[in-house]
Amino acid sequence: MSNAPASLAQHFETPDGFTGHFGWLCGFSADDRFLNDALERFSHQQANQRAYAGETLLALMLDPRAIQITPVEVPGLLHLPWAKADLPFNLMHAKVAVLGYRSTNKSDAWCLRLLVSTGNWTRQTLEQSLDLIWRLDVCSDELVVPTEATQQVRTDICSAWSLLLWLREHYDDRALLANPLTAKAVADMDAILLKQVKPKASGLNARFFDNRKASLLAQLPARVVYASGRETARNYLAMGSGFYESSMPGEHASVPLSIIRRLRGEEGEPRLLTATSTLDLFVNEASCQGIAAAAANLTAASVSVRPAAQPAYFPDVQKRTLHAKFIFSASETGHSEKTASPWLYLGSGNLTRQGFTLKMGRSTGNLEAGVVFAPTPLNWYPAKSGGTDPESIGYYLPIQWEQECVPETLQQGKDLEVGSEVFSAAPVAYLMWRDTDTPEQGWLSADDRSRGDYSVLDTSRQPCAYVEGQGFAWCGPRPRQVVVSWQDAGTTHVMTVPVLDGFGRLAATELPEISLEDAWMQLDSFPQSPSEEELPNAFDDSKRSADKQVAIAPGKEAARYPIRQIMELIEGIAAKQTALEPRDWPVWCARLEQSLIQAAGCGLLQQFLALEINPIHALRQPAFRPCFAETADHPEGKRYETALSNIEAHWKLDTSHPLGVLP
């Protein structure tokens, strides 16, 4: 496996010197195992750390009939529900990601990554399928004096971004904007793409394309000419697909044959394939739908049906099924071992009418996306037979010329089954938690953007009592998410919605009680997150904060000097925060507020507070603040003072004398 190309999840890894900031994904399906893997690579935070932070790092838009994936199952992810009435497509099948990274060293440096995948965001893609991925990166320093190659990358990313922007209009993003840090990350990424990445009059066409206005097949010839820079007729064509449509009378293998006709210029397009070209169609022998009954038609058209190759870098015992959708064409010349004038299509569109020959439409074409590009010429065959050779075409595509399918071995397999129930937006996208004076009880209420009537269900799936002006009464510790129920057209719907705590954390784990010493350790280690071992289990709500409380022996605590410890804490905070840059300030304010409130019950702090002195007041002084947050006249200063006020409220300092102010 050491020579294997990067897996789909590995393409979420951060570039050197960067950290994951925010990203958008769309796809047909996904699962929690893949997404937790991808998020850990994207953020370098494990699940407990992401659940503790309560921020959204990836927004996911799946086919509306996909089962909901909750932020408790995948901390740091928000699966957006469908917000519109009608579906504008047969299936939402495009598999695209645009990921944003920010520099860990330079204040304004960033990197964007585009992923176009043939595989779903699932473990099956990693472990059982043969799939393809196309990736582009662009960083801010490349835009200072952009090359033509950089301009092309900008054009491609913006084309993909236009698809994601269109999709965002159809999904409910209210919960995405609930956490202020997440809302800022979304706005930052939008601004980068709109104001910095979007090229101005570059005159370039995008290699990325989708089928909202025209089918992939209708666009294919022109895309090939642009990507390859020539109208050369090649003498080899390979097509592959993980799914072919079921056999229909008179339409055996209609889509592969339509592609051949288009590329040969039989319908008025440029002639990109010779009349005597070698034609290969790669399939899953055990599940190739209508191809199983089309052997005679394909043979008559000189098309060889072949099983997909198993790359040598995968273990022999790990036979994978073809899921990739691709079209590869090049010329084989007698004087060279390399592919000549190669081009490649890869994307979400299977070689079916819904996936390739129809434009997007309700009950007709899926929403599909892909790319056409000219790869570097590679060797037709590996240097060593059966070996792994990154210089050969078989390293990148599951094609081979040693085996051909026997018609008797081809099986139709199962057709794709899609459910009918849509994961629709609830009247409320998230609920806000408010503590009561009674332990293990609280109120759940909505913001002003909720719409319509709904009920909140308790852990027994019974409706919670609603009190006007307060919200829904919840008995028990703050939940990370709850189930809401509502009626629409006489049908009862249910959906899980996340809960926002008083710190603006979404679907977050409990904040454990800590000592002042541990609070300082959390602040001093900023921007690093607390270690996973110190935090509540992201997947086990039965272990509440009491299991994580810090026990300090009375004798040890009494031996400390409360005044000295508090003074050192205030001085340490001042020294730390005056050295911060504006980009880190929102996260710092959240860390400061959370850490000091977590320490509110610390015995050493209680000894100091018995003196009726407010130490937080010192942090309001300009000398203890960075220049960009010295006053509340600026958003940074206002956010900081709000955090200090919340700390003072939890420490019950309303009657204490301000530290540093003479009586």
Shared domain check, 27 and 151 = yes
Phi, psi dihedral angles at 386 (to 5 degrees):
80, 0
Shared domain check, 220 and 322 = yes
Question: Model's pTM, two decimal places?
Answer: 0.88
Residues near 124 by beta carbon (within 8 Å), at least 6 away in sequence: 31
Shared domain check, 464 and 380 = no
Shared domain check, 489 and 449 = yes
Q: What is the pLDDT of residue 546?
A: 40
* Spatial contact of 505 and 53, defined as CB atoms under 8 Å apart: yes
Q: Is residue 16 part of a domain?
A: yes
Last residue of a domain, one of 440, 467, 500: 500
Asked if pLDDT for residue 538 goes beyond 90, the answer is: no
Within 500-619, residue ranges assigned H as helices are 516-524, 554-558, 562-577, 585-598, 603-609
Q: Is residue 203 part of a domain?
A: no
Q: Between vectors from CA 50 to CA 44 and to CA 56, what angle results, nearest 5°?
A: 100
- Edge-to-edge strand list for the sheet holding 481-488: 455-457, 481-488, 491-500, 431-435, 441-445, 471-475, 466-467
Shared domain check, 369 and 472 = no
**CA–CA separation, 289 and 281 (whole Å):** 13
* Spatial contact of 93 and 368, defined as CB atoms under 8 Å apart: yes
Six token digits for residue 411:
């099986």
What CATH number does residue 278 fall under?
Answer: 3.30.870
Six token digits for residue 429:
């996208």
Q: Is residue 355 part of a domain?
A: yes
Q: Is residue 30 part of a domain?
A: yes
Q: Between vectors from CA 93 to CA 342 and to CA 301, what angle results, nearest 5°?
A: 45
Confidence of residue 556 (pLDDT cuts 50, 70, 90): very low
Q: What pLDDT digit, counting tens, does each position of 423-452 carry? A: 999 999 999 999 888 888 999 999 876 777
- Of residues 249 and 220, more confidently modeled: 220
Q: In the chain, how many domains are there?
A: 4
Q: How much is the mean pLDDT over the chain?
A: 89
Please state the rounded mean pLDDT for residues 207-223. 98
R_g over Cα of the chain: 29
Shared domain check, 350 and 326 = yes
Asked if pLDDT for residue 495 goes beyond 50, the answer is: yes
Shared domain check, 467 and 588 = no
Shared domain check, 180 and 314 = no
Shared domain check, 232 and 192 = no
Q: Between vectors from CA 217 to CA 331 and to CA 194, what angle results, nearest 5°?
A: 100
Q: What is the pLDDT of residue 559?
A: 39
Q: What is the pLDDT of residue 197?
A: 93
**CA–CA separation, 253 and 650 (whole Å):** 70
Range among 32-41, 102-111, 377-386, 444-453 with highest mean pLDDT value: 32-41
**CA–CA separation, 71 and 182 (whole Å):** 14
Asked if pLDDT for residue 202 goes beyond 60, the answer is: yes
Instruction: State the DSSP H helix or E strand holding residue 127, giving kind and residue range, or none if neither.
Output: helix 123-127
Q: What is the pLDDT of residue 251?
A: 61
Six token digits for residue 332:
């084989």
Last residue of a domain, one of 453, 470, 500: 500
Shared domain check, 95 and 16 = yes
Asked if pLDDT for residue 566 goes beyond 70, the answer is: yes
- Of residues 584 and 36, more confidently modeled: 36
Shared domain check, 327 and 246 = yes
Q: What pLDDT digit, counting tens, does each position of 138-158 carry? A: 999 999 999 999 999 999 999
Q: What is the pLDDT of residue 357?
A: 96
As a 3-state breakdown, the chain gives helix, strand, coil percent values, each rounded to 5, of: 30, 20, 45
Range of the domain at 277: 211-409
Last residue of a domain, one of 460, 476, 500: 500
Q: Is residue 420 part of a domain?
A: no
* Spatial contact of 86 and 76, defined as CB atoms under 8 Å apart: no
Q: What is the pLDDT of residue 560?
A: 52
Q: Is residue 235 part of a domain?
A: yes
Q: What pLDDT digit, counting tens, does each position of 391-430 carry? A: 999 999 999 999 999 888 888 787 777 878 899 999 999 9
Shared domain check, 375 and 245 = yes
Q: What percent of the chain is modeled with pLDDT above 70?
A: 94
